[in-house]
Amino acid sequence: MPPVQEPHPKFARARSRALATTPDESQSAPADVAEIAPYLRPDEADLLRRAFAFSAKAHLGQFRKDGEPYITHPLAVTETLAGWRMDAQTLAAALLHDVVEDTGISREEIKSNFGEAVADLVDGVTKLDQLQFESKRHAQAENFRKMLLAMARDVRVILIKLADRWHNMSTLDAMSVESRQRIAQETLDIYAPIANRLGLNVVYHELQELAFQHMYPTRYRVLEKAIATSRMDRRELVEKINQAIRQKLEHCKIKADVYGREKHLYGIYRKMQEKHLAFTEVFDIYGFRVIVDDVPTCYLALGSLHSLYKPIPGKFKDYIAIPKANGYQSLHSTLFGPFGTPVEVQIRTREMHRLAEEGVASHWMYKVGSTELTEAQRMTHQWLQSLLDIQADSRDSVEFLEHIKVDLFPDEVYVFTPKGKIMALPREATAVDFAYNVHTDIGNHCVAARINGDYMPLSTPLKNGDRVEIITSESARPNPAWIHFAVTGKARAHIRSALKHVHRNESEMLGQQLLNQALRGLGVIPADVGEDRWEQLLKTSGRSRGDILIEIGLGKKLGVMVARQLLSREGEDVSRAAGPILVRGSEGVAVRLAKCCRPIPGDPIIGQIRKEQGLLIHTHDCPQVSHYRDDPDKWVDVEWEPDLDKTFDVSIRITVANARGVLAKVAAAIAAEGSNIDDVHMEEEGGNYTNLYFTVQVQNRVHLSRLMRVLRSLQEVSRITRLKGNQGLRGTHVIDPSRKDS
């Protein structure tokens, strides 16, 4: 057993309480357990005692990695929550939160002894260790998903989990180095941002400090020592500034409490990393907090301090008029202090200070008699509900966690709706994020944005103070390109969901065409296949009709095999040929033109079924499909749809004599033939010739032939070749220009 370590100062009392409880006493918990939360009613205190007795008995004989009796942990978690004045159900659940996971006691036992609400809270915190996942990453993601969704239903779940993580981080020394670093990284990625999002400022900074200490112990010790030395050097300066602020406020007859505060080690370290500074270059290690009675006094205090020390331009933020997304309010200003030292000052009311320190817990949603939500509660509730929206539009737990990590939460920008409502979004959020934040339907049908009265693309990043109006169209649908510039988890989840829905619809339509083709190949008219045949197939497979068609469209199933299963008989008349599938070149993700040969209308084509990719259209002479030609199950008959009205990319190489203005002359000829130039680059061939590589857009093979004849007639053009492959790079498949149909 590892040696017993000194407990974190905050949790020392919980340890002494637990050690004072002998195994026999655990059958009826000592009376002072209820003193953890003296605000509870007698019946609630009894619930706490019973929960303690149950937990102590369940964990009897179990020890933590640091050698302490296990009961010290749930008791420390409970004391933290009691400090936030949580209700009796939450405190009981905190005492029991590891019972199901670590002792084999079932949720039903918790429910029968302590009620449904306590059981739900315990269940929300419990991990999914009993289930099997394909990887540790998926297991971790599913645990977070379960916890966050339980939190969305009842925020008390995450408050228990944060208190649990706080105590675990304070006793992490007993773990292996690898485990410490993994848990510390997880804390920085997930738990600290959630604490910040809920406004639990103390927990947020404590988790960051502890994570920093365990991830980079040497850096932590060096920085801690440097701060201690700096503290001695700067004590006189800090005291001088503190005294000057007090005197200035008293002179202006402003009643206020003034506190000097040292910035957190992790905050200093992060600033050094982000701005590439040495410790000696970080001057604003100390800040000052001014606490006043009401909002008007905040602004009076700000004015008086700006007359004491000059404000640094661009370093003022009014979080009172525009609160942060977690409800935080305060005035922030950075001033030029004595000797040019930057001085950061925060000015807030006492109520704002309480909210800043305790967040959601300071305005507890579940307090008896509370009928109206504060602004902080409303914003928190809105965010919790957004978790449910993100979950509904995420394919799996890993994707859900990815969206949540994006949303947990960079610095905000504050923008205005056309009606003047303030909306907080993550920094670098774009107009499409704004659209989805207003409403999912607005996002799904947006086409452009009007920002400060000017029409702008949806990819435009938003800035503080922008006034944003979204332009929509009923026919508009999400564009796959949006994923590359959407920032918020909500927007990304809804875009992916919409694209997935489109993908399924396209794949189902293609699957129906492939199945019909296979049925005709077996001599059966698709309309003659009765519903009884489908019911028999669905019953056997356990899948829906749509799922089977989608799998055919994605190449997971062969249409001919499903057709035979539907018919359930052999020896069918296969004399009737299957009709080809018509290709128009704009089907989307279910039918795609292969990049290896870039077919265009007029090229003889063949369709290749690829698993998870749907139907790929190749030219007949494409080397990629040459080995499939003798296997009819690997390809399908396809034809171009007549009268296509879209353009197709094709790459050509033009060898020209080096002459002034030749590139402009070639480009003009291409434009004159009604072709757009999508890409152009060149390379020296050696001697007096240069190769020009163009990607041009043509309507069909006839249009391409006409364009190539015009280009070949130019005096400077020596040779012209159509290229098959990636944008005309050397080594790609080439069509012989001497062929009549090239």
SS3 of 730, please? coil
DSSP alpha helix (H) spans, 522-634: 531-541, 545-553, 559-567
Which of the pair, 33 or 456, is modelled with greater confidence?
456
Mean pLDDT is lowest, of 64-78, 146-160, 567-581, 667-681, for: 567-581
The strand pair at 717-724 and 648-657 is best described as antiparallel
Average pLDDT over residues 271-288: 73
587 alpha carbon, distance to own chain's centre:
29
Highest mean pLDDT, choosing among 26-35, 267-276, 597-606, 709-718: 709-718
Average pLDDT over residues 419-440: 84
SS3 of 403, please? helix
Query: Is-contact 517 559, C-beta < 8 A?
Result: yes
Q: Which amino acid is at 362?
A: S
Q: How confident is the model at residue 613 (pLDDT cuts 50, 70, 90)?
A: low
CA distance 170 to 161: 14
102 flagged as catalytic: yes
Query: What are residue 192's phi and psi, to 5 degrees?
Result: -60, -45
pTM of the model: 0.52
Query: Is-contact 362 305, C-beta < 8 A?
Result: no
**Can you spell out the DSSP letters for 496-519?**
HHHHHHHHHHHHHHHHHHHHHHHH
Q: Which residue has the tokens 């993100």?
A: 390
Q: What angle in degrees, to the nearest 10, is found between the helix axes of 201-215 and 156-170? A: 40
CA distance 257 to 267: 24
Beta partners for residue 290, in sequence order: 258, 347
SS3 of 406, please? helix
The one-character DSSP state at 359 is G
Residue 434 scores a pLDDT above 50: yes
The pLDDT assigned to 105 comes to 85
**Maximum pairwise Cα distance, the chain:** 104
Q: Which amino acid is at 660?
A: R
Nearest to 585 by CA among 661, 475, 697, 738: 697
Residue 730 scores a pLDDT above 70: no
CA distance 686 to 168: 69
CA distance 344 to 182: 34
Among 3.40.190.80, 3.40.50.1360, 3.30.460.10, 1.10.220.70, name the CATH number for the domain at 218-361: 3.30.460.10
Q: What angle in degrees, to the nearest 10, is found between the helix axes of 156-170 and 177-186? A: 150
Nearest to 171 by CA among 54, 69, 32, 83: 69
Residue 549 scores a pLDDT above 70: yes
CA distance 551 to 555: 6
* 235 HSE (CA, 13 A, CB side): 5
Q: Which of 35, 98, 102, 684 is catalytic?
A: 102
Residue 110 scores a pLDDT above 80: yes
Q: How confident is the model at residue 643 (pLDDT cuts 50, 70, 90)?
A: confident
The one-character DSSP state at 151 is H
The pLDDT assigned to 129 comes to 40
Query: Is-contact 304 290, C-beta < 8 A?
Result: no
pLDDT (tens digit per residue) in 135-180: 455 555 666 666 566 556 677 888 888 899 999 898 888 888 888 8
Mean pLDDT across the chain? 76
SS3 of 695, please? strand
The pLDDT assigned to 370 comes to 45
The pLDDT assigned to 13 comes to 56
CA distance 124 to 144: 10
pLDDT (tens digit per residue) in 646-679: 888 889 999 998 888 888 899 889 988 988 888 8
Residue 297 scores a pLDDT above 90: yes
Average pLDDT over residues 213-234: 82
The one-character DSSP state at 187 is I
Average pLDDT over residues 509-519: 80
CA distance 350 to 339: 31
C-alpha torsion angle, residues 41, 42, 44, 49 (rounded to 10): 140
Query: Is-contact 415 467, C-beta < 8 A?
Result: yes
Instruction: Give me 68's structure tokens.
Output: 């302490």
Q: How confident is the model at residue 687 (pLDDT cuts 50, 70, 90)?
A: confident
Percent of residues, the chain, with pLDDT higher than 90: 12
Kind plus residue range of the DSSP H or E element containing 443: helix 440-444
> Which residues touch 214 (CB under 8 Å, ≥6 apart)?
169, 172, 180, 181, 183, 184
The pLDDT assigned to 400 comes to 56
Q: Domain locations in the chain?
A: 9-126+156-215, 218-361, 497-639, 648-735
pLDDT (tens digit per residue) in 308-351: 988 888 788 888 888 876 677 899 998 888 877 788 899 999 88
Residue 548 scores a pLDDT above 50: yes
733-735 sheet: strands from edge to edge: 676-686, 689-698, 648-657, 717-724, 733-735
Instruction: Give me 670's structure tokens.
Output: 């291409």
Which of the pair, 698 or 518, is modelled with greater confidence?
698
Q: Which of 43, 46, 66, 101 is catalytic?
A: 101
Beta partners for residue 415, in sequence order: 423
> Which residues touch 682 (CB under 8 Å, ≥6 apart)?
663, 690, 691, 692, 693
Q: Is the dihedral of CA 432, 434, 436, 438 positive or negative?
A: negative
What does CATH list as the number for 648-735?
A: 3.30.70.260
Query: What are residue 582's phi and psi, to 5 degrees?
Result: -85, 135
Residue 29 scores a pLDDT above 70: no
Residue 219 scores a pLDDT above 80: yes
Q: Which CATH superfamily is domain 9-126+156-215 in?
A: Hypothetical protein af1432 (1.10.3210.10)
Mean pLDDT is lowest, of 8-17, 441-450, 599-608, for: 8-17
Query: Is-contact 423 473, C-beta < 8 A?
Result: no
CA distance 608 to 591: 10
Q: What angle in degrees, to the nearest 10, is found between the helix axes of 201-215 and 350-358? A: 40
CA distance 348 to 335: 17
CA distance 622 to 625: 6
